[in-house]
Chain A
Amino acid sequence: MNFSPVNIMGTMPEIYLTVLGSLLFLMEPFVPAKKRSLLGIFAIFALIFAMIATFGLNGKGLPLYQGLYIVDPFSNFFKVVIYLGTILTILFSLPYLEKEEIHVGEYYGFLLFAAVGMMIMVSAGDLITLFLGIELMSLCFYVLVGLKRNSHRSVEASFKYFLLGAFAAAIFLYGVSLLYGASGTETLSGLAQFISNPGALRPMVFAGMILTMVGFAFKVSAAPFHMWTPDVYEGAPTVVTGFMASVGKVAAFGVFLRVFWVAFSANRDHWSLLIVLAAILSMIVGNIVALVQTNIKRMLAYSSIGHAGYAVIALLNPSRESLFALMFYMFTYLFMTLGAFGIILILRRKGVEGEEISDFVGLNKKNPLAAFLMLVFMFSLAGIPPFGGFLAKFYIFMAAVHAGYTWLAVVGVLLSAVGAYYYIRVVMAMYMKDPVEAVEFSPNRMEGMALFVTAAMTVILGIFPLPFVHYIETSLAILVP
């Protein structure tokens, strides 16, 4: 491995975050319990610092460390999304952790390390690097999910997630080893070369490909590898759920797309059927099972499975349309999901979880602003204009039609009509029923800021997405043939 200045410069953002994250762990014992929020602010500055470094790298597109690591506009886009999502998560965390009495300094360190793991994932040019990224992210997640040590649900969720996650990692790794055994390489470009020659399509390659797909499907919680999602989302502290559901998923989609488009694009015909199946299954499971949920975190978990179903449609055909669709979808999805979880965690107070849909009853009477923001997030998640969620779905369906899967788009729209029901059920509870008991909604300044950003972005992405569309278009360049 060659540690030339070019290579080191290219990975500066990751290095910053690793160093500053480690610093956080060292600082933690010296910061009094009352002033823990300073650590959060430190973490925010670390992320902003890394974001500036990433912007400095834009447009280079070089493979670093002999192709093990790729810094291109595509990965930079995902990194910016990761920074934004992590910053918003931290803003939501500060008061929430106090309320839950789990305000430990390590929390921020784990968040930063998870972010580094995701950054490595989206930049990986090699399956081993990729695996390191995935594991770094997942290990942080296991800890974060179990943060509420006194809560059975939290510990159970953490344990479940750990077992299943380890299992998925093993499957993924097995797939990688099969691919390596068949081709003698594990860089993405090497695999691409190997697979494009017609003699290469041996059962071993297929098995390897399918097993890696299982690993990714687990990470993006696409059916039929979604079983962990509802339990983990429900048990984890809400702010961690929001983080996993938004940022974690975005990063996983980034790497899913890169591996399948770069390494496996030559035998697209062989895996596209599997993607179609995963898409249909996820949309069905997500949208239909969500209908009967009474816990809003579980409902959003199924909704996120459904959203994964829509997003994987964009993987079917390597084209500008698909790539744009996926990136726009992820960008919009981040804000609306984080916002929805933000409202839930602000409703949390002593004694009441604020997690049942019935806790939202009559919210409009008590706090019209909170109700309106939730309405925006719900309608956006349901894909109703004029919110960002509509354009996101629109581009996904456009990608599907462009790829020749019009029928899949039809299935998708029909299921999203089914899915609309459970989102408007929340709106119904907030607006159309009278409150049974007082609902308290008093965001502090940080939460207010994060809510404002997420809501404003959800609306802007639906009404005036021009600047973001430009930004995404400039990030398209590298991957598309």
Chain B
Amino acid sequence: MNVIKAKSFTENGLDTRRKFSFGSIGVWTALFLLIGAPVLCFLTLGVSPRLFQQGPEWFTLKYVHEAFQGFAGRAIFNSLWVATVVSIFAVSIATSMAWVIHRTNIGARRFWAVAMWLLLLLPTWMMTLGWTDLLQPVGGLQALGINCSYIYHEFFGPLGIVVVLTTAALPFSYFIITAGLQGLGPEFEDAARIHGANKIQTFKTVLPIISPAILSAIAVSFAETISDFGVADTLGYHAHFPLATFILFKAISSYPANFSVAAVVAAVLILSIVPPITLQSRVMRKNTFAVLSGRTRTPRVREFRKGPRVLATTIVATVFVVAIGVPVLGAVMTSFISGQSFYGGHLHLTLLYYREIFNPPSAGKSLGTPLLLSDQLGFVVASCTGAFAVVMARRLVTKVGGLSQRITDIFLLGSIAIPGVVLAIGYIFFYNLSFITHHVINLYETLPLLIIALIASSLPGQTRFMAGPVSQIQPSLSEAARVHGAGRFTAWRTTNLPLMSRVLLWGWLLTFTKTISELAIATILFPPSQEPASVTIQNYLANFNTGAGTAMTVMTLLEMLGIIVIALGIYRLVTPRGWRRIGWRGIQS
């Protein structure tokens, strides 16, 4: 290590001789323009509405007081406890599932890993739509003659909100904890067992070793949950259970809009991520968790006997049936069941709604053009985000980053808690400033601004997603290439790229699919006459065209799956065989 420091290289090959390199300035400028400036503009409205011609006061705290009163105050409280409960549930379930899937011989291990990816790609508004379609009194189950009114009333309340949000947070926790488990060789479990520990005691002994991953998963799950709008707008509203993101949205979408209260609520959401980050930092500072080494052995798979194996497989299958099966089944059923079924007493299946997708009724819109636009947006956003996320991930995992690294970490984690609607409105306030539109660049109401906002929305999550795999790459690889005369890019291309090719591919697919289903930013920033698919679908659903809207949702999901299959196929054709054998694995078994 001393030798490396003498050469002024970090473990990831970064030159540390210059404290303030042009690269650092470039990265922070980009982050400022992408996230910092728009969000700051919006948050400033909470205390100074006059700065953006939204009220008479240059400085006031009255909106802070207003945000904590009555309805809004209750919503903030609800969001905080729901996010706490959800993050605990999600991490508990994810830890158990990660261990069972990766460390035991349960059935269909590879399939469950694929299913977790599918769950990650499913947006919460689609999940809620599926649950609603299935359970509502005039829904899929009722059309089949199954009375589900009791479950319906229970589900449309805090219970349903926690269930849907837990299933949405589950994959984030799962992938973080899976990465942590990979560095955990069998020697720790063996040591515990040798000293007489039973299986539960062994688990309790080993668990603290992966506490950095667990704490990171809690922080990310908390941030993802507290910033979710899809569930707040649907289940939360109908259950008379207000959540902060919905209050924020209402304050913005009312007329006259109350941007100042919305800004205060947004600030509370962003600040609420501080406790999980602080907890994580304190634990990390107190103890050392360095268990990874070049001699870490491949984890041993526990062999269940037949009975426990069937039981464990059934439990895992049940989790996925609840998380993916029910909502997808609900959406698919509704898209094929005619509205007549609910009155005539007989089940009428129809393809009418699928015909309406591309041949809509007179005033409706076809899904074709919006979906094509969404695909293009997804392609550009995923590619740009992927490139930027690699740069950010390298900065995040550098061992000598110091204060800058910690600020980057907190900035990115805090950014996950920024609701999409806040980012979008912040973009209007910043990029539509008279000075910027007249003297710098006029981007407002153009596709490039929508693209930039979508990149800003994806970047924090994507960076954290890539940080784990990037940290596992030995810096000696690129150092060796540099010693042999390779330039920085050539060294990265010939050493890191093969190892990272799969994480880049899965990261690209994740951003691509999330971009297609993204709603909050698209609704506010789409340019005239260029409507993305998510906005078109939502307009159908909001205007009581549930059948066509649901069919469009199913078609969009199928299209996403198709793109994933094509992308994986291209990867297989284009990359050398060796690339597929090394480095991070998207689907591990």
Chains A and B bind each other:
no
Residues of A at the B interface (CB closer than 8 Å) are none
